[in-house]
């Protein structure tokens, strides 16, 4: 036994180190969010906290820095990128100051003022060195390194001012400048067209356009100097042709940047539209308030308001899930939308409780004397026929709701053949990837987070008083959890982040099922459920309501109440065919 202790201790130290690192990773994510919001001070503070916890974790077990276990390699690469982006934000104003000195250098060269050109060039060198030392990641940005090389070539131009003009040297310089202009423009056009729609890409595109124009001006200056002295018209004509090609590229780059900015305006307008829709839904929900007892009109008005607000939330979430600007986490509307989602989710949860309690006193037809078992209709009872033992080939199901209509209906015949091994559950900034997931008793839920906050995920089945923590998810992390709640029930899965609307996992015992939704403004849904086997037992599951287990044979008819916490909200009629 003593031989195994070192390996066990090593495993414990590794996990302890990773767990500590992950606490630091939260600060890395916060730094990333601050970078997206252009909050340099917060980004620096959060990243410093991340680095401090990395060092603490390394002291426990340094191997975490060179492993793919528990996705450490992916986490480290992500934070390296955060460091890169943070350095770019920090260093950009500094390098821009250096480039301003560079432009003054070229201006002095045009004026043939050697002393002034030398002074500005030395300023450029000093400012450039300071910027690169402070933010080494600047050297990885193509537009910046290209501009640096252009500015560094000013030294040769200054040297030429102190010597007699040499046609060969002028020709070589013009060829270099025209070639550099073309190369830079073509690369910038490719990057701009291929970049995502976010604020960083817009900034990069505008910087690229500005730099391309500087390259164009340098090329024109050299070409004009050559034209003034050159006798070889063929060389000049060749350079003119290359210059025209570069200027055509510059026109395309200008158009691409304009197109990107127009797309950003449209994307911002879309986010504002979603924000307005959430605001309207929030006001609609808040107006529900306390429903007076035994007031059918007030109940119906509140119910309509609730379902309208819920429908708006669902539609907005679906749109946000596909919105690149929202999911880039750096849009100015994001924080407001997240606050609106959180407020709307709270309001809808409270309104649902109020509506489900009020349905108890809402006017209802005289009840049929059944609850959890099928009852024959009077016509069938009067015929006094023995109960059919022949299985139905299908069942015609009608659900009439007096209370809240569920977001979906799931129906199936129990065949015991369902065997779903894994279900992927993606968590996005806008919420869960799907409104409902299908599982079976042995399913493993595989979570992956694309949300920048840390989420605690829980499963709840209210009528069973069941609640279980399934996972803790940090950004870009994965986790697994088994489906352990009772079969043939629906669990709501929730996050501790209030802006994340709940989703559902249906744990079924069947290989086939039918799913449908109520039409807008409809209280009734009909479906024909084909029986793939020879059984006569099935289930109807609806979120927010207790499962309905039905038993039906060919030629039989039965009714069941739709219940939530012993409150009846509707009725299901089923007929075996």
How far apart CA 297 and CA 303 sit, in angstroms, is 10
Instruction: Choose among 185, 577, 233, 570: nearest CA to 409.
Output: 570
Query: Which pLDDT does position 507 carry in this prediction?
Result: 97
CATH class name, domain 422-506: mainly beta
Per-residue pLDDT of the chain (577 residues; tens, 9 = 90+): 444 444 545 568 899 999 999 999 999 988 988 887 778 899 999 999 999 999 999 999 999 999 988 889 989 999 999 999 999 989 999 999 999 999 999 999 988 899 999 999 999 999 999 999 999 999 998 889 989 999 998 998 888 776 655 788 888 889 999 999 999 999 999 999 998 888 878 888 998 999 999 999 999 988 988 888 766 888 999 999 999 999 999 999 999 999 999 999 999 999 999 999 999 999 999 999 898 888 889 999 999 999 999 999 999 999 999 888 888 765 567 888 999 999 999 999 999 989 988 875 344 444 343 333 444 333 332 233 345 568 999 999 999 998 899 999 999 999 988 889 999 999 998 899 999 999 999 999 999 998 888 899 999 999 999 999 999 998 888 899 999 999 999 999 999 999 999 999 999 999 999 999 998 788 999 999 999 888 899 999 999 999 999 999 999 999 999 998 878 999 999 999 9
Contact 462, 439 (CB under 8 A): no
How far apart CA 470 and CA 456 sit, in angstroms, is 8
Query: Which pLDDT does position 8 carry in this prediction?
Result: 46
Written as six digits, the tokens of 88 are 């770019």
- 247, burial (CB in 10 Å: exposed 0-12, middle 13-18, buried 19+): middle
Q: Across the strands, what pairs with 409?
A: 516
How far apart CA 27 and CA 23 sit, in angstroms, is 7
How far apart CA 398 and CA 572 sit, in angstroms, is 6
Distance between first and last Cα of the chain: 66
Q: Which fold has domain 374-418+508-577?
A: Immunoglobulin-like (2.60.40)
**In a 3-state reduction of DSSP, which class is residue 540?**
strand
How far is the CA of 59 from the CAs of 11, 23, 46, 428, in angstroms? Answer: 15, 15, 20, 34
Whose tokens are 């100097």? That residue is 225
Dihedral angle sign, alpha carbons of residues 420, 573, 307, 357: negative
Contact 516, 527 (CB under 8 A): yes
Written as six digits, the tokens of 324 are 């690149």
Written as six digits, the tokens of 247 are 């200027």
**In a 3-state reduction of DSSP, which class is residue 478?**
strand
Contact 329, 30 (CB under 8 A): no
Written as six digits, the tokens of 108 are 């002095």
Query: Which pLDDT does position 370 carry in this prediction?
Result: 38
How far apart CA 159 and CA 142 sit, in angstroms, is 27
């Amino acid at each position: 036994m003593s031989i195994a202790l070192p390996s066990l201790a090593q495993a414990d130290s590794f996990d302890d180190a990773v767990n500590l690192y992950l606490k630091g990773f939260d600060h890395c994510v916060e730094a990333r969010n601050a970078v997206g919001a252009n909050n340099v001070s917060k980004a620096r503070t959060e990243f410093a906290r991340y680095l401090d916890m990395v060092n603490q974790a390394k002291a426990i077990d340094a191997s975490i820095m060179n492993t793919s276990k528990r996705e450490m390699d992916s986490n480290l690469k992500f934070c390296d990128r955060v460091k890169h982006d943070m350095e770019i934000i920090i260093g950009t104003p500094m390098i821009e100051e250096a480039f301003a000195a560079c432009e003054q250098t070229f201006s002095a060269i045009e004026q043939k003022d050697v002393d002034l050109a030398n002074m500005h060039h030395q300023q450029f060198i000093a400012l450039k060195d300071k910027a690169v030392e402070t933010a080494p990641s600047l050297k990885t940005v193509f537009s910046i390194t290209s501009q640096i090389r252009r500015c560094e070539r000013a030294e040769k131009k200054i040297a030429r001012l102190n010597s007699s003009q040499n046609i060969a040297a002028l020709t070589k310089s013009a060829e270099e400048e025209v070639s550099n202009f073309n190369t830079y423009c073509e690369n910038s056009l490719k990057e701009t067209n291929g970049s995502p729609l976010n604020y960083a890409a817009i900034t990069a595109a505008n910087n690229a356009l500005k730099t391309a124009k500087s390259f164009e001006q340098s090329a024109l200056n050299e070409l004009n100097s050559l034209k003034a002295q050159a006798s070889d018209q063929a060389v000049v004509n060749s350079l003119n042709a290359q210059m025209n090609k570069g200027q055509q590229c510059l026109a395309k780059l200008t158009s691409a940047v304009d197109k990107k900015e127009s797309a950003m305006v449209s994307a911002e307008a879309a986010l504002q539209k979603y924000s307005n829709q959430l605001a309207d839904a929030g006001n609609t929900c808040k107006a529900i308030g306390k429903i007076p007892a035994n007031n059918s009109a007030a109940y119906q008005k509140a119910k309509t308001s609730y379902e309208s607000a819920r429908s708006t939330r669902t539609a907005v979430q679906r749109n946000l899930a596909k919105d690149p600007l929202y999911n880039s986490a750096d849009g100015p509307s994001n924080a407001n939308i997240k606050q609106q989602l959180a407020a709307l989710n709270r309001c809808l949860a409270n309104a649902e409780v109020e509506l489900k309690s009020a349905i108890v006193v809402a006017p209802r037809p005289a009840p049929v004397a059944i609850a959890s078992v099928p009852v024959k209709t009077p016509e069938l009872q009067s015929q006094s026929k023995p109960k059919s033992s022949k299985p139905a080939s299908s069942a015609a199901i009608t659900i009439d709701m007096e209370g809240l209509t569920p977001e979906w209906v799931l129906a199936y015949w129990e065949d015991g053949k369902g065997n779903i091994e894994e279900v992927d559950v993606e968590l996005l900034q806008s919420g869960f990837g799907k409104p409902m997931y299908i599982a079976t008793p042995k399913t493993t839920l595989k979570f992956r987070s694309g949300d920048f906050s840390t989420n605690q995920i829980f499963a709840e089945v209210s009528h069973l008083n069941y609640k279980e923590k399934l996972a803790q998810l940090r950004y870009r992390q994965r986790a697994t959890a088994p489906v352990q709640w009772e079969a043939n029930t629906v669990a709501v899965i929730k996050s501790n982040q209030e802006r994340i609307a709940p989703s559902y996992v249906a744990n079924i015992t069947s290989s086939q099922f039918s799913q449908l939704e109520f039409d807008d403004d409809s209280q009734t849904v009909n479906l024909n459920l084909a029986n793939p086997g020879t059984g006569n037992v099935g289930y109807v599951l609806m979120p927010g309501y207790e499962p309905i287990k039905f038993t039906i044979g060919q030629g039989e008819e039965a009714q069941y109440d739709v219940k939530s916490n012993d409150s009846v909200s509707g009725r299901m009629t089923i007929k075996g065919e």
